[in-house]
Amino acid sequence: MTTVIKAPGEAAAEKRSAASGQPRGRKKSGSDGMVLNVFSHGFLAVWGILIILPLIWLVLGSFKTDVQIGESALSWPANWHFDAFPRAWNKGIGSYFANTLIVMVFSVPLTMLLGSMAAYVLARYPFRGNRPIYYFFVSGAMFPVFLALVPLFFMVKRLDMLNTYQGLILVYVAYSMPFTVFFMHSFFRTLPTAVHEAAVIDGASHTRIFFQVMMPMAKPGLISVGIFNVLGQWNQYILPSVLMQPQTGSDPERYMLTQGLIQLQYQMGYETDLPVLFAGVTIAMIPMLVVYLSFQRQIQAGLTSATLK
């Protein structure tokens, strides 16, 4: 506790007295900085390599043959085989991809719409029960999803929505609600009231104000939460692995991409066709890489501010 209070003022004074005994010139600190600079670049580069190397290695693996993968990890693809990609696509990656897209096309906009509606009303309309409802929504973020898993399975089963897109869509929307409401709530609070009041005087209805005035104004917030939800739902594994299993032998597989990859891992370990697995992972990584590189700034800013709030 005390160190903090001391830090900016007193500690500096201590150092000043210490420094006067052993003066440090600009030059010295300059060369210090030089050493440190090389030193930090060294460490930073090593970590960079540790991040990139396994990923590149995996992508390269999809151009090798199974035998070549097993023989030596450090070999360059001897002759580049491109056939693992179409094979992976046909082994199921294509349909897992489609399944994930189908679910997300509905779940993300629905999450944004319902989450914003609730957040908007809670942020800008004082009414009895407002605070309890808000905390009720937000508290969901505190609990581990495992707490709900068993009853959730039976709830979805009772609604006859196991292994259906609509079931998973509704579950995704529900589980994205706490964070979306939380984030959009703080966003709607920051929007100026003057615009709203002007719209009211012009005779716009509440609903109209929401859709035509407030939503466009909340665009930056919507983008941040949107990215967060896209990443979260795209990468979700536990919910689909419980809810999206064929219930009978004749049921179609409606695996999500994450589930499908793990499925492929079991299958390919068995059939010893690792290039297909690596190609599958590469295919699954590409959209994330594209989304990441195009929204890199927003993603970093969005996720970090979301955590700190």
Q: Which of residues 206-235 bind another protein (CB under 8 A)?
A: 206-207, 210, 231, 234-235
- Least separation, in Å, of the C-beta of 206 and another protein? 4
Interface residue with another protein among 91, 124, 185, 254 (CB under 8 A) is 124
Residue with the two structure tokens 């023989």: 71
Kindly tell me which of 12 and 105 has the beta carbon lying closer to another protein: 12
Kindly tell me which of 102 and 267 has the beta carbon lying closer to another protein: 267
- Residues 64 and 250: beta-carbon distance below 8 Å: no
Interface residue with another protein among 63, 97, 137, 182 (CB under 8 A) is 137
Which positions from 154 to 183 touch another protein by CB under 8 A, shown as an x/- string? xxx-------------xx-xxx-xx--x--
- Residue 132 touching another protein (CB under 8 A): no
Q: Is 252 helix (H, G, I), strand (E, B) or coil?
A: coil
- Residue 34 touching another protein (CB under 8 A): yes
User: Which DSSP letter does residue 163 get?
Assistant: T
- Residue 138 touching another protein (CB under 8 A): no
88: Cβ contacts below 8 Å, ≥ 6 apart: 62, 264, 276, 277, 279, 280, 283
- Residue 193 touching another protein (CB under 8 A): yes
CA dist 306 and 228 (Å) reads 9
CA dist 204 and 194 (Å) reads 14
The rounded Cα 48 to chain-centroid distance in angstroms is: 21
- Residue 74 touching another protein (CB under 8 A): yes
- Residue 143 touching another protein (CB under 8 A): yes
Footprint of another protein on 76-115 (CB under 8 A):
114-115
- Residue 299 touching another protein (CB under 8 A): yes
- Residue 140 touching another protein (CB under 8 A): yes
285: Cβ contacts below 8 Å, ≥ 6 apart: 55, 59
Supply the DSSP string of 21-53, one letter for each residue. HS---HHHHHHHHHHHHHHHHHHHHHHHHHHHH
Kindly tell me which of 80 and 127 has the beta carbon lying closer to another protein: 127
- Least separation, in Å, of the C-beta of 130 and another protein? 9
- Residue 135 touching another protein (CB under 8 A): no
The residue range among 82-90, 101-109, 217-225, 292-300 that interacts with another protein, by the rule CB under 8 A, is 292-300
List Cα–Cα distances, 105 to 173, 234, 303, in angstroms: 12, 11, 21
- Least separation, in Å, of the C-beta of 251 and another protein? 16
- Residue 11 touching another protein (CB under 8 A): yes
The rounded Cα 217 to chain-centroid distance in angstroms is: 24
Supply the DSSP string of 56-75, one letter for each residue. HHHHHHTTS-HHHHHH-TTP
Kindly tell me which of 102 and 265 has the beta carbon lying closer to another protein: 265
Q: Is 97 helix (H, G, I), strand (E, B) or coil?
A: helix
- Least separation, in Å, of the C-beta of 11 and another protein? 5
- Residues 134 and 184: beta-carbon distance below 8 Å: no
Q: Which two tokens stand for residue 142?
A: 């505190």
Footprint of another protein on 259-288 (CB under 8 A):
259, 261-262, 265, 274, 277-278, 281, 284-285, 288
Q: Which of 283, 251, 276 is nearest to 161 (CA)?
A: 251
The residue range among 10-18, 77-85, 87-95, 214-222 that interacts with another protein, by the rule CB under 8 A, is 10-18
- Residue 255 touching another protein (CB under 8 A): no
